[in-house]
Amino acid sequence: MSLVDSFRAHTVEILARYERALRDADSPLVATADRWDQTRRQAEEILGECLHMLGPIAQERPDPQAATRELGIDRARQQILVADSIRAGILLWRAAVPVLREVAMSESPDRLPDMFDRLHEAISIRLYIGSVAHEHVRLANRAAAAGNDQHSEPEGVTRPDNITEREWEVLKCVGRAYSNREIAKELAISEPTVKAHLRKIFRKLAATSRVDAINKVGLPHRYRS
């Protein structure tokens, strides 16, 4: 059996070890089936990156940024602490290392350092991306709790029925003259997602520009931070 095949055959064991460790630690990431499903999918992606570097595997590995950012936002909204994500990363490492060592020592001992490096990198980048997204949500919530006027509705203006709450948030940022990058940072989403929201807004409002869009919903141009 090749190193790739042997590693693939042991991923189920690693995930089982990981889940047991999370439950033993009473982690909120396994408190519900949905949360464990999210956590498991991310662990599978991390292990998949380790598997991919051993090759040859035809499929491209997905970019971890978008999915991990959304997961960080979701965890912040569920009031799951960054510390819980960090602990999960440590527990995944502890679950994977003994299995990886056993697989590598039986098949290709010289690949073990590379496998460990890749596992560490895959876990670390996700912790960083998720933590940044989590922090954006936390800061936005704190500003809202403090009654920051830039997040309040302008007087006499209401959201049109065909505009979603997220699209309305994007429109208010447009009214404050934010760039796509600034909107993405403000709402903790990606720039491509901002552009997708804007395309939908323009279509729904039959708007030809950003200024035309905010004029049609009645947002004042001066509505900015």
| Per-residue model confidence as pLDDT tens digits over 24-43 | 999 999 999 999 999 999 99
Once rounded to an integer, what is the mean pLDDT over residues 185-211? 90
DSSP notation for 143-187? HHHTT-GGGSPPTT----TTS-HHHHHHHHHHHTT--HHHHHHHH
Cα–Cα distance measured from residue 220 to residue 224, given in angstroms and rounded to the nearest whole number = 9
pLDDT in the model for residue 90: 96
Top pLDDT among 80 and 151 is at 80
Cα–Cα distance measured from residue 7 to residue 97, given in angstroms and rounded to the nearest whole number = 12
- pLDDT, one tens digit per residue, over 43-68 is 999 998 887 776 655 455 556 677 88
Top pLDDT among 141 and 25 is at 25
From residue 130, alpha-carbon distances to 40, 54, 83 in Å are 15, 26, 11
